[in-house]
Amino acid sequence: MKIKDIEVGNLFLAPMAGVSDVGFRKVCKMFGADLTYVEMINANALLHENRHTKKLLETADNENIKVVQIFGHDPLILAKAVQSPLLEKFDIIDINFGCPAPKIVKNGDGSALLKHLDTIASICKSCTSATKKPVTAKIRIGFDADENIAAEVAKICEENGISAITVHGRTRAQMYSGTVDYETIKKVKQSVSIPVIGNGDVVDAESYKKMLDTGVDGVMIGRGALGRPWIFAELKGKNVEDKFEAIKCHVDTLRKYYTDEELCITLRKHFLWYIRDIPGAAKYRLMLATTKNLDESLNILKEVYLSKH
C-alpha cells in the first residue's frame, strides 16, 4: 500500500500514550512491524519545544519510515505544529481524532472532535495545506454509544487532503469494551479511495484475518502488542526466539535517554505486561512491581524467560 507517495507494508504499531516509547517501537520493528508511530504529541507542546516533548520524539535507528501523531483542536495551532522544526525528520504526520481518554476529551481534543465535524474539516485542510508530507488521521466510529459517523468523517478527511485513515471500530463511549464493529470498518473502506487501516482487538492470527476480511489496506495493533512485541513476527508466520533479548533491547535503548531511576517507574507497566501471559509467573509480579532497581528487574525477567522459554 502507499500513503501518498510513500510505500509501506500493512502491519502497524499504534501510537499509544505512555507505551509507544522509542525502545518499544524499536523492538516492534525488529519483529516485523512495517510502520511504528511515535505516541501522540500535544500540538501546543510542540510549539513550546519543551524537554519532555523532545524526548518523546526520539526515533530508533531501524525506523526507516518515521511517523508521529499529534493532537489538538485549533486548526491554526495544528498547522503551525505540522511545520515545527521538531517534526522535520518525520515522513508522515498523523492527526488524532479518536483518543477516548477523559483528560483529552475534556480539553476538546481526540474523540471530542467527532462532535464537531466542521472543525475536523478545518484541521485537515489547514494541516495538509501546511506541509507537502502525507498527513493521515485516526478516528473512532462515533462519540456516543449509538453513533456511527465513521464513513462520513472519513469522507470529510479525504476531501480535505488526508492521505490515509485509521479506524478504531468502537465509539468513544465504549472506550475499549464491547466488540469491534467490523462492518463499519468495511463501510469506511468502501466509502473512500484513500488507504484505510483497521484497528481494534487484533491479538492473534484469527482476529488479524477478521480485520483483513473487511477489505482494509492495513492493520494497526495496539493493546495486542503490550508485552508481546513479537506479535508482528507471529502474524507473519515467523519463528520467535530469545524474547528476553528483545526485552533487554527495549531497556537498553531507553537508557540512552533516561536515567535508571526514571525508567524503573516508567517501565514497570511494560515489565508486568511481559510476564502477563506466562504460566507460573504470578510470584514474580510483586517483585517486579516493587523493585526500584532496573538491573534487578531485568534479572527477574531473565529468570522468568529462561525457565519458561
Catalytic residue numbers, as ranges: 99
CA dist list (Å): 251 to 24, 258, 281, 284: 8, 10, 20, 18
Phi, psi of 162 (to 5 degrees): -70, 135
| Strand ranges (E), the chain | 2-3, 6-7, 11-13, 35-42, 66-71, 92-97, 135-142, 165-171, 196-199, 218-221
Tell how strand 165-171 and strand 2-3 pair up: unpaired
Distance CA 108, CA 116 (A): 10
All cell numbers assigned to 133: 508530507
CA dist list (Å): 141 to 70, 97, 192: 19, 10, 15
CA dist list (Å): 126 to 123, 171, 241: 5, 26, 46
Structural contact between residues 37 and 14, judged by C-beta atoms closer than 8 angstroms: yes
Structural contact between residues 246 and 27, judged by C-beta atoms closer than 8 angstroms: yes
**CA quadruple 35, 39, 42, 45: dihedral, nearest 10:** -100
> Of the candidates 32, 60, 70, 64, which has an alpha carbon nearest to the alpha carbon of residue 208?
32
Who contacts 56 (Cβ-Cβ below 8 Å, separation ≥6)? Answer: 21, 38, 39, 41
Exposure class string for 38-70: b at 16+ Cβ within 10 A, else e: bbbbbbbbbbeeeeebeebbbbbeebebbbbbb
